[in-house]
Structure 1
Amino acid sequence: MRRHDKLFIGGEWVAPAGTATIDVISPHTEEVVGQVPDGTPQDVDRAVAAARQAFDHGPWPRMTFAERAEVIGRLAAIYNERQGEMAELITEEMGSPITFSNLAQAPQPLGMLQFYAELGKTFEQEEERPGLFGPLTVRREPVGVVAAVVPWNVPQFVTMTKLAPALLAGCTVVLKPAPETPLDAYLLAEWTAEAGVPAGVLNIVPAGRETGEHLVSHAGVDKVAFTGSTAAGRRIAAICGEQLKRLSLELGGKSAAIILDDADLAASMGFLSMASLMNNGQACVAQTRILASRNRYDEVVDAIAGMVTSQPVGDPADPATGIGPLVAKRQQERVEGYVRIGMDEGAKVVVGGLDRPYDRGWYVSPTVFAGVSNDMRIAREEIFGPVLAVIPYDDEADAVRIANDSDYGLAGTVWTADADHGMEVARQVRTGTYGVNCFMLETNAPFGGYKASGIGRELGPEGLNGYLEYKTIARLG
């Protein structure tokens, strides 16, 4: 078992203020696989003070972008050498199939480090512009101390969407990992120290909601970067609004995959399976609404059912597994609750349902609903599990209307034999990311949501802007 009895604050492993601990439980075996301190508000105070000291008086924000990029590059090199270890750890703590962990849970965070390390080599802190009475200098400065609050589903991915650009900008960070998945953050702390990230630049306090709210509302924090539920995002936005604190939010989604009549279903299912069932359905970008023309509705339902049943359900450490367990007992109960809701609403269970595939572990049966209308709760609310709803549409305009008829706007796809026409559809759907015959988040392009899916953008050069303040200096003489 991985047992940690200290917190990473100010570049050191320090004893927590309290004695409470958090057990990390394997979703596959339901056995304890790790333990960390349960951080308290006093621990947050100490972490923010360390980050504040490092920002106000330390070397990190006073280095050039290129100098910080060199350190980030060293961290990326360590990450690259040990990414397999990170992937296995995330699979152990949250149940992500090892194939997905090896594809995304570790390589994509590595890609973010590499991207920002490369960007920093040529990024200019100051830009000269002509002014009415003399030259103007537009200066880019770090926003300050960042509170990064991350969820359990893709813990390193989300951590790095915040940490990598924050580091390049010159910010210091207090990271609060989710109680379900703190172990990967401890491994990351070791690597940052080895890479030479100065003391206090990264501080880690695993904790629950109450301590997390103390961090978000802390007067020493200049910006909050949060990924999680829309309900929690609203609460955090209210706190930051009261304090006029910088804020970025990446929240929920209920993304739609539009299957046009000319789509090659057999060719599409492999990519659509990843887009809709990735990480056991625990992905904010998952395409869980499948929109099918009435002309091909039964054919699409059969294809989706075959796609889902072809995914082996089992031990996430087994490379043959396509769908593993959910992260926690409460998540299992939540997903099963939505399956009951769908049945009560009159939707038809095509595959899956309420029979659990295993007696041990937080598994659910991957489920496909047919006969779904877009006003049903299973079509409107984020379920966060392997549950797909196939919704009929009359024509292409109706499909776009249904796709846009959502409180969310995070992702989406269109599946068609004509990719150019797919681009026309993509331009009509109000989401932050979109795919034509595929879905992929790229490290060099912005990621974020419309509507209730969030505020701000992460990744790409645009992601760096969220950690910068712009100062204009006018000069005469």
Structure 2
Amino acid sequence: MHEHKSFFIGGEWVAPAGTGVIDVVSPHTEEVIGRVPDGSEADIDAAVAAARRAFDEGPWPRMTPAERAEIVGRLSAIYAANVEPMAQLVTAEMGSPALFSMFAQAAIPQMVLQYYVDLAATYTWEDERQGMQGPVSVVREPVGVVAAIVPWNVPQFTLMLKLAPALIAGCTIVAKPSPETPLDTYLLAEWIKEAGIPDGVVNIVPAGREVGAHLVAHPDVDKVSFTGSTGAGRSIAAVCGQQLKRVTLELGGKSAAIILEDADLASTIEGFKLASLMNNGQACAAQTRILAPRSRYDEVADALAAMVGGLAVGDPADFGTEVGPLVAQRQQERVEGYIRIGQDEGAKVLVGGLDRPQDRGWYVAPTVFGGVTNDMRIAREEIFGPVLALLAYDDEEEAIRIANDSDYGLGGSVWTADEEHGVAVARRIRTGSCGVNLYSIDPATPFGGYKSSGLGRELGPEGLDAYLELKSIPRPAPKV
């Protein structure tokens, strides 16, 4: 049992203002595996006050980027030495398969942290320009106090997309983890303390949505960075717009994988294990609309159904498991509801369906629907589970049209024997990223979405830009 009775505020473990408790329940056993206090508005107020003091009065924003990078580098080294326990903790909390957790739930967050440590040395923090009337210094300064609100599906990854660049920029942070996955942030807080990051620079308060709304609207928060549902993102954007508060939103997706006529089917289908079914299908960028040429549709359907039907479903702590449980019973019910919707809409279950693969735990059978058209709800709405929709197209132009016919624009992919042509097709897909013969998120490049998939970008130098304000300092032209 992982039990915690305080919050990480101002560099100390602080008793909660209220008596609420969050039980962390294993999605595999349905048993309580952890317990933490449930943050209240008063706890958020204390955390924001600590972050405000650390920004307004503390040393962190006034250090040089190199000085900050040296301290954050110590955190990165501690993290690198503890990838395994972090991965195990996230698997226990939310059911991510162990092998995926080692890579995406722990190793990649550490890589993101180290990327920003290294970027600090080469980033242009200040430049001199010759203006129309004289010399101008353009300087980049930290935006201030940041509210970082993260989801349960990849809790460390989404937190690090915010925490790492914000720290290097000189910001201070109040992080609100999801109630489903608060335990990993307690481990991170211990490492932050050990690394010597000054008190109040990072503050962590697990809480629910209503308390999160209080954090978003707090007058002493200068920027909000949120990863989560499009509906919640719209509400946050409205509040930030009213307050003219800086905001980054990484929201939902319904990404399309276009299989071109010349694609090698064996390697393509193998690639979908990660691209389409990563993290039990609980990934905003998962390629859940599979677009196949009509001439190869039956071949693709058979191969896709065979692959999905052969996936190892079970205990997420087992390194042989390929699909684990969904995070909560409500998520299980939601995904099963979409399977019923697909059947009612006339799509055909090629494999999977409503027979649960385990008697205990919040499992859903990995499912493939055939005969899907792009007007069906299972092709338009984010299901967030191991459910794939297979659609047919007649020619490449129709494939591009179907891929772009979505409210979302987060990810996508093109699968082909001609990589150069694949890149040409990818350029026509209206999404923030589109892979060729894979789908991946690279820490050195911007990640985010078009349309209802969000605002702004995370990762890459652009991810650091989001935590900085630009200031111009003009001076008189030299006298001749």
TM, length-normalised to structure 2: 0.99
Q: Which residue of 1 aligns with 2:254?
A: 254
Please list, as runs of the form range in 1=range in 2, the aligned pairs for 1:196-215 lying within 5 A after superposition: 196-215=196-215
Amino acid at match of 1:141: E
Q: Which residue of 2 aligns with 1:371?
A: 371
Please list, as runs of the form range in 1=range in 2, the aligned pairs for 1:129-278 lying within 5 A after superposition: 129-278=129-278
Q: Which residue of 2 aligns with 1:289?
A: 289
* Whole-angstrom CA distance in 1 between matches of 2:153 and 2:316: 14
* Whole-angstrom CA distance in 2 between matches of 1:341 and 1:210: 30
* Whole-angstrom CA distance in 1 between matches of 2:122 and 2:462: 15
SS state of the match for residue 203, structure 1? Answer: strand
**2:387 corresponds to 1:382:** no
* Whole-angstrom CA distance in 1 between matches of 2:104 and 2:43: 32
Structure 1 unaligned blocks of 5 or more:
none
SS state of the match for residue 81, structure 2? Answer: helix
Deviates more, 1:130-139 or 1:176-185: 130-139
Q: Once the 2 structures are TM-superposed, how far is the Cα of residue 228 of structure 1 from its aligned partner? A: 0.1
* Whole-angstrom CA distance in 2 between matches of 1:358 and 1:123: 50
SS state of the match for residue 322, structure 1? Answer: coil
Amino acid at match of 1:20: G
Q: Which residue of 2 aligns with 1:122?
A: 122
Q: Which residue of 1 aligns with 2:78?
A: 78
- Contact 2:174 / 2:204 at 8 angstroms: preserved in 1? yes
SS state of the match for residue 362, structure 1? Answer: coil
**2:442 corresponds to 1:442:** yes
* Whole-angstrom CA distance in 2 between matches of 1:377 and 1:186: 39
Please list, as runs of the form range in 1=range in 2, the aligned pairs for 1:87-106 lying within 5 A after superposition: 87-106=87-106
Deviates more, 1:111-120 or 1:375-384: 111-120
SS state of the match for residue 248, structure 2? Answer: strand
* Whole-angstrom CA distance in 2 between matches of 1:452 and 1:276: 20
SS state of the match for residue 353, structure 1? Answer: coil
SS state of the match for residue 29, structure 1? Answer: coil
SS state of the match for residue 279, structure 2? Answer: helix
* Whole-angstrom CA distance in 1 between matches of 2:370 and 2:132: 65
- Contact 1:65 / 1:120 at 8 angstroms: preserved in 2? yes
- Contact 1:66 / 1:123 at 8 angstroms: preserved in 2? no
Q: Which residue of 1 aligns with 2:31?
A: 31
Cα deviation per residue 1:338-361 (whole Å; 9 max; x = unaligned)?
Answer: 000000000000100101111110
Q: Which residue of 1 aligns with 2:465?
A: 465
Amino acid at match of 1:114: Q
Q: Once the 2 structures are TM-superposed, how far is the Cα of residue 132 of structure 1 from its aligned partner? A: 2.9
Amino acid at match of 1:326: L
* Whole-angstrom CA distance in 1 between matches of 2:7 and 2:414: 45
* Whole-angstrom CA distance in 2 between matches of 1:356 and 1:38: 32
Cα deviation per residue 1:6-27 (whole Å; 9 max; x = unaligned)?
Answer: 0000000000000110000000
* Whole-angstrom CA distance in 1 between matches of 2:56 and 2:267: 55
* Whole-angstrom CA distance in 1 between matches of 2:373 and 2:349: 14
- Contact 2:253 / 2:285 at 8 angstroms: preserved in 1? yes
- Contact 1:65 / 1:124 at 8 angstroms: preserved in 2? no
Amino acid at match of 2:138: V
Q: Once the 2 structures are TM-superposed, how far is the Cα of residue 219 of structure 1 from its aligned partner? A: 0.2
Please list, as runs of the form range in 1=range in 2, the aligned pairs for 1:39-78 lying within 5 A after superposition: 39-78=39-78
**2:296 corresponds to 1:312:** no
* Whole-angstrom CA distance in 1 between matches of 2:157 and 2:327: 16
Q: Once the 2 structures are TM-superposed, how far is the Cα of residue 137 of structure 1 from its aligned partner? A: 0.4
Amino acid at match of 2:69: A
- Contact 1:66 / 1:122 at 8 angstroms: preserved in 2? no
Amino acid at match of 1:234: R
Q: Once the 2 structures are TM-superposed, how far is the Cα of residue 269 of structure 1 from its aligned partner? A: 1.8
Q: Once the 2 structures are TM-superposed, how far is the Cα of residue 123 of structure 1 from its aligned partner? A: 2.8
* Whole-angstrom CA distance in 1 between matches of 2:250 and 2:124: 28
* Whole-angstrom CA distance in 1 between matches of 2:337 and 2:351: 16
- Contact 2:123 / 2:461 at 8 angstroms: preserved in 1? no
Amino acid at match of 1:396: E
Q: Which residue of 2 aligns with 1:362?
A: 362
* Whole-angstrom CA distance in 2 between matches of 1:310 and 1:15: 49
Structure 2 unaligned blocks of 5 or more:
none
- Contact 1:65 / 1:123 at 8 angstroms: preserved in 2? no
* Whole-angstrom CA distance in 2 between matches of 1:60 and 1:271: 43
**Number of equivalent positions:** 477
Q: Once the 2 structures are TM-superposed, how far is the Cα of residue 185 of structure 1 from its aligned partner? A: 0.6
* Whole-angstrom CA distance in 2 between matches of 1:125 and 1:431: 29
Q: Once the 2 structures are TM-superposed, how far is the Cα of residue 104 of structure 1 from its aligned partner? A: 1.1
Amino acid at match of 1:232: A
Q: Which residue of 2 aligns with 1:402?
A: 402
* Whole-angstrom CA distance in 1 between matches of 2:453 and 2:411: 9
Q: Once the 2 structures are TM-superposed, how far is the Cα of residue 87 of structure 1 from its aligned partner? A: 0.4
Q: CA RMSD in A?
A: 0.7
* Whole-angstrom CA distance in 2 between matches of 1:179 and 1:440: 27
Q: Once the 2 structures are TM-superposed, how far is the Cα of residue 134 of structure 1 from its aligned partner? A: 2.4
Amino acid at match of 1:90: V
Q: Which residue of 1 aligns with 2:301?
A: 301
